[in-house]
Amino acid sequence: MRQELHRFFRAARGAGVRVSPAETIDAMRAVKDVGFADRGILRDALLLTLAKSEDEKQALGNCFDLFFSQPDVKEETASEDAAESAEAHLSPGETQTGGASAPSPELGELTQMLMARDRNAIAAALANAANAASLSDIRYFTQRGIFSTRILEALGIARLRDDLDALTASNPSEAERLTAATEALRENVRDTVNQALLLYGREEAENLRHEILRSAPLARLERRQVEQMKVLIRAIARRLRERHSKPRKRQRRGHLDTRRTLRRNAAWGGVPFLTSWKRRHRDRPKIVALCDVSGSVAQVSDFFLLLIHSLHEVVDDVRSFAFSGHLIEVSDILDNKSPEEAMSEIMSKVGFGSSDYGGSFADFEKDFMASVTAKTTVIVLGDARTNNLDPRADILRRISERSKRLVWLNPEGRMAWGWGDSEMPRYAAFCSVVRQCATAKQLERAVSDIVAAYQ
């Protein structure tokens, strides 16, 4: 049962429940105390030791019900004509009990179980064959045929075929009944493999869907994919917070200075009672983000704002601005409200208009230019399409000269830069970094590189 529990823990992780090694130890100790006799008590014990929220409790409960439920063993549906034919072949001293004749001892073990309709024996053999085939290693739906074949081979399908050939020659009616039982067995194997795929393949299937979605163009998402992408962007933001919060803590503390530590503790025989730390001075990070929320980038502006919201949680000093026809500061909105509320308020105030980069840059220079210093990284997120208005590249040049670096993230493909009303080539001349951010993967990499520069 220890292996069974380890498989359950793997299935629980695939269902989205975070199960640490320490929690698995606690769960196994609890199971040792309550035993396996009462399924309800076992379920409660696992939920109490592993689930840490209502969502995890629901997911874990569903996983438990699926994991510890065995697919029903289906019986063959032999025709009445086959049953009557079987009775006709009985000798005068023989009787048929339960519609099944006594299996011949020359037949294989699997054939005897099928002919005797021993459901318990078939279920046990099927479970043993699934373990022998390492069914818990299934990850993708394309592997169903492979594992079905492995289980059938472990059950003894080769001997079953030989028995079927022998019965076809000697007893056609029994051969027909064995054929029906074999089809029922194959269906049971398919059900077992499908159940295992639901348990163990969920995480890999979800990762595959996310990987495909991460590489999908943000501007060409279908409506049903937009909500999935928002969930993915939130996960990216969470990874950014987790990835860059630890280096910031280590930087505040510093790195262990081995030589100074040994010298300070010479009086205690080198036992490090007192520690010394190396601290390397780094500039306090300052980021100014300007996000285009006009109609031409409305499809991707939500994702830009979600990533900017994550910057406010990773970097201490961030000032954010949104613009279409004019520019406003949205730092307080992003600091004090949830991502959904912040995006809704920002888009209601300044979103979906006609983009005027020149006018927005002029607003920034007039009211907020003092926020840009030699320690500031300025990020512009937009497609650089000015609707044939004055691009005011001179203001962007002055911003670049005042800042530490100027980064432009453009959701359009590079082939479109400079065509129509795109002023990207003119703006790019004053940028330290210019990147295409047409997909979630490109957006995550760009924002991660910007934050990592301060770690």
DSSP output for 250-282: HHHH-EE-HHHHHHHTGGGTT--SS--EE----
Q: Helix and strand tally (H, E) in the chain?
A: 20, 8
Instruction: Report pLDDT digits (tens) over 187-238.
Output: 999 988 988 888 887 777 777 777 778 788 877 777 777 777 777 777 777 7
Per-residue pLDDT of the chain (455 residues), as tens digits, is 777 788 888 888 877 788 888 888 888 888 888 888 888 888 888 888 888 888 888 888 888 888 877 665 655 544 444 444 444 444 444 444 444 444 454 788 888 888 888 888 888 888 889 888 988 888 888 888 999 999 999 999 999 998 888 888 888 888 898 899 999 999 999 988 988 888 887 777 777 777 778 788 877 777 777 777 777 777 777 776 666 554 444 455 567 788 888 888 888 877 887 888 876 655 566 889 999 998 878 778 777 887 777 777 667 788 999 999 999 999 999 888 887 788 889 888 988 888 999 999 999 999 999 999 998 989 999 999 999 999 999 999 999 999 999 999 998 888 889 999 999 999 999 999 999 888 888 887 887 777 666 55
The C-alpha atoms of residue 155 and residue 307 are separated, in whole angstroms, by: 53
The C-alpha atoms of residue 215 and residue 208 are separated, in whole angstroms, by: 11
The C-alpha atoms of residue 425 and residue 386 are separated, in whole angstroms, by: 13
What pLDDT is attached to residue 281?
A: 52
CA dihedral for 145, 149, 154, 155, sign (positive or negative): positive
The C-alpha atoms of residue 119 and residue 331 are separated, in whole angstroms, by: 67
The C-alpha atoms of residue 287 and residue 375 are separated, in whole angstroms, by: 9
CA dihedral for 291, 292, 297, 301, sign (positive or negative): positive
Contact indicator for 354, 391 with CB cutoff of 8 Å: no
What pLDDT is attached to residue 80?
A: 40
The C-alpha atoms of residue 149 and residue 158 are separated, in whole angstroms, by: 11
226-252+282-452 CATH fold: Rossmann fold (3.40.50)
Those residues with Cβ within 8 angstroms of residue 99's Cβ, 6 or more apart along the chain or in another chain: 83
What pLDDT is attached to residue 391?
A: 94
What pLDDT is attached to residue 279?
A: 66
Tokens describing residue 120: 């318990």
What pLDDT is attached to residue 82?
A: 44
Residues paired with residue 290 on neighbouring β-strands, in sequence order: 321, 380
Instruction: Report pLDDT digits (tens) over 2-27.
Output: 777 888 888 888 777 888 888 888 88
With 0.75 as the threshold, say if the pTM is over it.
no
Those residues with Cβ within 8 angstroms of residue 180's Cβ, 6 or more apart along the chain or in another chain: 76, 77, 78, 82
Give the start-to-end residue ranges of the domains of the chain.
2-67, 104-204, 226-252+282-452
Contact indicator for 313, 238 with CB cutoff of 8 Å: no
* Burial tier of 97 (Cβ tally within 10 Å: 0-12, 13-18, 19+): exposed
| Amino acid type, 80 | E
Tokens describing residue 418: 């400079």
What pLDDT is attached to residue 403?
A: 93
What pLDDT is attached to residue 72?
A: 58
The C-alpha atoms of residue 238 and residue 313 are separated, in whole angstroms, by: 10
The C-alpha atoms of residue 378 and residue 432 are separated, in whole angstroms, by: 10
Tokens describing residue 213: 């979605």
